[in-house]
Amino acid sequence: MRLLNTKTFRVQEFLTEIPLYAILSHTWEDEEVTFQDIQNIANLADTRNVQQLTYEDIRAFLLSAQLPVKKGYTKVVQACVRARSYAFDWIWIDSCCINKESSAELSEAINSMYQYYENAVVCYVYLFDVSGKLHPKNSASDFKRSKWFTRGWTLQELLAPEVISFFDRDWTKIGTRWSLRDVISVVTTIPINVLEGRSIDEYSVAQKMSWAAHRQTTRPEDEAYCLMGIFGVSMSPIYGEGGDKAFMRLQQEIIRVSDDRSIFAWISESWEENRGLLARSPYEFRYSGQVRASKTGSTLGNSPSSYSFNNNGLHIHLSLEWWNSSSEIFLASLNCQTSDGSYVFVYLQRTTGGYYVRCSPGIAVLGSAPPLSMMCGSSLLESHQFLGRAEPELTMLGKKSCPFSLPHGTLFALDRHRPQSPLNSQLNLKNICGKTLI
């Protein structure tokens, strides 16, 4: 990684024996200082014969060289001043420590960024749109409305570092993640325990996705790329592939390292189209903040709880329960529960040829009963009657009702034909008619 010297403003690359460093978290504004810009002043300290540059030194040099004095230099200098005040010789700033003209370097930085923030001794969060005149916990404070809380990349910058200090537009310290954890939790929906240092590995895929549901990125693909570190996966960024495809690839990588079925506990905006099992964006997890990780081990009768990709697509076992036999609609258990103990189900519809679609993707079903494979001695009829009682045992996670007349769409391939009770069936997602079904 490259680090910026807080005194000379010279960038140096470290491959091993990386020194202690601070790190900056911020939202990009106009006239950010790039790697190429910082190279222009690489030898300024030597030519001025000084050990520590000031903003005035940099500004005078740029003017004399007829180079633009970007607004971002103030941010860089102030971040270095804060780091120097705590005896840090080095700081990492994304805008000027990554050569974005190199696609290979950009890819490495994107895949390593969570580690950069995790390994930093301290993270300085600069909020250009916040005034420290009012305490962040004051209802009139603009802290809660800062743009920083709406950006995709800043989620990992909030979660990864061990120590975080927040600064207002004038670089006045206004608090830490610890001291502001209650208000940050309200703004971000992230549990206070996480902000106090609890490992995010203890939370489900659905919960972590929900933290990103309302965040935005400038480039659509970054909605997926900015989450790689949070889920501990790596993949090559391909700008131009589109947000949906990038997010699909992210979920595939998560599935390769996790058997948590809460990754399927999402709700789409449109409930009339048939869908595959994977979501199209983090936004579809906006209602999934209370969905806990699925139980692992022998929890599906004689079938394994794990699932994986093979040359036919996604290989998975699901417990199916009849919901509407005339429309060939089933409730598929995800084998995970919400924080209040409700079991999460989604609708699958059987079509011709033994294939299945996820129908009514705009809702998920919360049931008070476990799936059939976990109910000893329960018959199919008993389960159907129990699940059919919409009140009070069933509630809808979402606000729209479920129609049973659905258009033809994406298909799932079922390894077996009509399943027998207890309807614990093995599903394979395959590519039908050239369409990607996951």
Tens of pLDDT, residue by residue over 13-28, are 999 899 999 999 999 9
Cis check: omega of the bond before 136, within 30 degrees of 0: no
Banded model confidence at residue 314, pLDDT cuts 50, 70, 90: low
Q: Does an H or E element contain 385, and which?
A: helix 380-388
pLDDT tens for each residue of 320-363: 888 877 778 888 889 899 999 999 999 988 877 666 778 889 98
CA angle 290, 291, 294 (to 5 degrees): 150
CB atoms closer than 10 angstroms to residue 348: 25
Q: Is the pLDDT of residue 432 over 70?
A: no
Evaluated on CA atoms 255, 261, 262, 268, the torsion sign reads positive
Percent of the chain with pLDDT over 70: 79
**Is residue 257 a contact partner of residue 354, using CB atoms and an 8 Å limit?**
no
For residue 392, give the DSSP letter. Answer: T
Q: Is the pLDDT of residue 295 over 50?
A: yes
Evaluated on CA atoms 310, 314, 318, 322, the torsion sign reads negative
Percent of the chain with pLDDT over 90: 64
Q: Report the alpha-carbon distance of residue 400 to residue 148 in Å, rounded.
A: 32
Q: Report the alpha-carbon distance of residue 387 to residue 333 in Å, rounded.
A: 12
Exposed e or buried b per residue across 374-412, where buried means at least 16 C-beta atoms within 10 angstroms of its C-beta: bbeebeeeebbebbeeeeeebebbbeeebeeebeebbbb
Q: What pLDDT is recorded for position 327?
A: 78
Name the residue among 90, 64, 72 with its Cα closest to residue 36.
72
Largest CA distance in the chain: 86
Question: Bigger pLDDT: 90 or 409?
Answer: 90
Q: Which of 251-255, 266-270, 399-403 has the lowest mean pLDDT?
A: 399-403
Evaluated on CA atoms 277, 283, 287, 291, the torsion sign reads positive
Which residues are CB-neighbours of 404 under 8 A, at least 6 positions away?
324, 327, 329, 359
Question: Bigger pLDDT: 310 or 1?
Answer: 1
Q: Is the pLDDT of residue 262 over 60?
A: yes
82 Cα distance to chain centroid: 30
Banded model confidence at residue 430, pLDDT cuts 50, 70, 90: very low
CA angle 87, 9, 15 (to 5 degrees): 80
φ, ψ for residue 174 (rounded to 5)? -115, 0
Identity of the residue numbered 244: D
**Is residue 305 a contact partner of residue 295, using CB atoms and an 8 Å limit?**
yes
Q: Report the alpha-carbon distance of residue 169 to residue 182 in Å, rounded.
A: 22
For residue 372, give the DSSP letter. Answer: G
Q: Report the alpha-carbon distance of residue 406 to residue 78 in Å, rounded.
A: 58
Q: What pLDDT is recorded for position 297?
A: 57
Q: What's the mean pLDDT in 420-429?
A: 36
Q: What's the mean pLDDT in 264-281?
A: 88
Tell me the pTM: 0.83
Domain range list for the chain = 2-198, 201-260, 261-438
CA angle 55, 126, 161 (to 5 degrees): 120
DSSP code per residue over 203-272: S-HHHHHHHTTT-B-SSTTHHHHTTHHHHT------TTS-HHHHHHHHHHHHHHH---GGGG----S--S
Banded model confidence at residue 382, pLDDT cuts 50, 70, 90: very low
